[in-house]
Amino acid sequence: MVPAVRVDFYNADELKSEVSWIPNKHYSGIYGLMKLVLTKTLPANLERVIVLDTDITFATDIAELWAVFHKFKGQQVLGLVENQSDWYLGNLWKNHRPWPALGRGYNTGVILLLLDKLRKMKWEQMWRLTAERELMGMLSTSLADQDIFNAVIKQNPFLVYQLPCFWNVQLSDHTRSEQCYRDVSDLKVIHWNSPKKLRVKNKHVEFFRNLYLTFLEYDGNLLRRELFGCPSETDVNSENLQKQLSELDEDDLCYEFRRERFTVHRTHLYFLHYEFEPSADNTDVTLVAQLSMDRLQMLEAICKHWEGPISLALYLSDAEAQQFLRYAQGSEVLMSRQNVGYHIVYKEGQFYPVNLLRNVAMKHISTPYMFLSDIDFLPMYGLYEYLRKSVIQLDLANTKKAMIVPAFETLRYRLSFPKSKAELLSMLDMGTLFTFRYHVWTKGHAPTNFAKWRTATTPYQVEWEADFEPYVVVRRDCPEYDRRFVGFGWNKVAHIMELDAQEYEFTVLPNAYMIHMPHAPSFDITKFRSNKQYRICLKTLKEEFQQDMSRRYGFAALKYLTAENNS
């Protein structure tokens, strides 16, 4: 929702064949050559662009750089900063043979491109012919697109407008960047152009690193609409949002709850690398959960218990996102797993948007089925494979079923996790384990019928009852969670009620279980217990949800009102 900003994506797979013929030794691989095809990739009506590497930090307004286009003269079509290392001088080591370049050559981390003129000059033919000719002797590129740009410039020096060094201060191990910041007082772009990035050997690196980290830890919400004076083209969604917000009564004691439903959160999908290829048999199940910073310690344990794909929505501030990144990168367990999708929803508003988070995690799964769990539960060992078999056994592909994984809890921080159902039953008898919420909220899981589960060897069906909130495995097309429920209370109950209204069958799995691990109470449950207005608003939202259910499902939804009145 930053005004006047439009984001477009281009499919790199469609462009690979344009550059895949070029052997490249650079760590960026084939993507390091993509800048060569920008004249072809970008829309024909786009006349000029600023091209940036992703390891760039701007310390000034980018509009200043855009203004430099006015200084181009004659046939100048490329704005570039001189390379600050000795690479192209060929004297870094014995027998070092770089690609041809003018003097020190130019660094392509920041480029001003006059696309319209480049197209008229037949840029594509120009770089292709140069690359083909040089590759006969050089065999491969060492610095990806930069080698080819420099070889073209060597032949056609008139193409370049040389930018002052402060537009691309290069921080690698062997640069003359110090020369640049000795000569100028105002550095505008810092470029971490070493494979080691922030760990580069440079005596000024701490200063630049702190600048970078300070920027990362800004509250990104400060950079949204309120800060801008520039107009934005209001799209339909934005207009609808404004309309819905204006219809809310600010004097309503539950105004803050109602407003929460319309809050648009900044979201960073796939915060870390994610890679997973679902199996050909269409039985794959993704574990779905949400968490905040105080539950981070559960991640490693869950990864040890569940080998399948996981989709997590994390509710974090900008600073916490950086702490999470450091935590994840320092964990061998998390770094060894590429099938965990981390989606960051940035903090805004005063409530924990639990159902929004669940919806974000649900929307970004790549498997036909999902296990809707919570972060403070550990699934039994082998649950992933067991669920995949159950999907086939219960024909989930062609039936509307919600498979229930019975939930238990321990009050012990150190638990010898049961390896089998028999071991779990013995721990129940000894009082080491309990059925989940047995002491405080029996109704939430009573319909699971734990007495029957103890001896069950085949799946059995149970009926919905008021306040039922089991943990279920469903197809990915199941209804979303209702966003009006935030913080503590009724967030899962409403979802299970919706599944029942849509005629899902609830089937308990006889050999599945999950165990809730103890932790300090969340901020929201404390608010619920201590704040009378919170409880009143939750009751109001429940009633409104039930009225909505009656409107949507008609006569069939009457049972929910009756059940509520009897409970």
In the chain, the percentage of residues whose pLDDT exceeds 90 is 60
- C-alpha atoms less than 13 angstroms from C-alpha of 145 in its C-beta half-sphere: 20
pLDDT the model gives residue 233 = 53
Nearest to 515 by CA among 403, 401, 432: 432
Q: Quick one: pLDDT band at residue 538, thresholds 50, 70, 90?
A: confident
Render pLDDT for 64-90 as a digit per residue (tens, 0 to 9).
Answer: 999 999 999 999 999 999 998 888 988
Render pLDDT for 184-230 as a digit per residue (tens, 0 to 9).
Answer: 678 899 898 877 777 777 767 787 888 888 887 888 887 765 555 55
pLDDT surpasses 60 at 532: yes
Q: Can you tell me the mean pLDDT for 550-564? A: 77
**169/449 Cα distance (integer angstroms):** 67
**257/394 Cα distance (integer angstroms):** 39
pLDDT the model gives residue 327 = 95
Pick the range with the lowest mean pLDDT from 54-63, 155-164, 447-456: 54-63
- Model confidence, pTM: 0.79
Q: Quick one: pLDDT band at residue 17, thresholds 50, 70, 90?
A: very high
pLDDT the model gives residue 527 = 64
Residue with tokens 């040890």: 304
Render pLDDT for 309-360 as a digit per residue (tens, 0 to 9).
Answer: 999 999 999 999 999 999 999 999 999 999 999 999 999 888 899 999 999 9
pLDDT the model gives residue 264 = 85
| E strand or H helix that includes residue 457 | none
Q: Quick one: pLDDT band at residue 516, thresholds 50, 70, 90?
A: very high
CA distances from 389 to 35, 284, 340 (A): 47, 10, 22
DSSP string, 359-407: HHHHHT--SSEEEE--TTEEEPTTHHHHHHHHHHHTTTTTS-EEEEE-E
pLDDT surpasses 70 at 235: no
Instruction: Give the residues across from 340 on adjacent strands.
Output: 310
Cβ 408 vs Cβ 434: under 8 Å: yes
Q: List the structure tokens of 360.
A: 């974000």
Pick the range with the lowest mean pLDDT from 258-262, 267-271, 466-470: 258-262
Angle at 240 between CA 235 and CA 242, to 5 degrees: 95
* Greater pLDDT, 158 or 252: 158
Q: How many residues does this entry show for the chain?
A: 567
* 303-307 contacts, C-beta under 8 A, 24 or more apart: 303/333, 303/334, 303/337, 303/340, 304/333, 305/378, 305/379, 305/380, 305/381, 305/383, 305/417, 306/379, 306/383, 306/384, 307/384
Render pLDDT for 155-165 as a digit per residue (tens, 0 to 9).
Answer: 999 999 999 99
What sign does the dihedral 54-58-61-62 (CA atoms) show?
negative
Q: Can you tell me the mean pLDDT for 420-434? A: 94
Angle at 177 between CA 147 and CA 163, to 5 degrees: 65
Q: Quick one: pLDDT band at residue 282, thresholds 50, 70, 90?
A: very high
Query: Count of CB atoms within 10 A of residue 402's CB?
Result: 22
Query: What's the chain's average pLDDT?
Result: 88
